[in-house]
Amino acid sequence: MYVCLCQAVTDQDIRDAVDDGVQTVSQLGESYGVATGCGRCQQMAQELIDERLSEKQFYAA
Binding site residues, ligand FES, CB under 6 A:
4-7, 34-41
Give least dist CB 2 to ligand FES, A: 8
Query: What pairs with residue 53 in β-bridges?
Result: none
Q: Determine whether 46 is exposed, middle or buried from the number of CB atoms within 10 Å of its CB (0-12, 13-18, 19+).
A: middle
In whole angstroms, the minimum distance from the beta carbon of 47 to ligand FES comes to 14
State which H helix or E strand residue 4 sits in: strand 2-4
Min separation Cβ 57 and ligand FES, Å: 26
Task: Using the minimum distance from each CB to ligand FES, give the nearer residue, 14 or 35.
Answer: 35
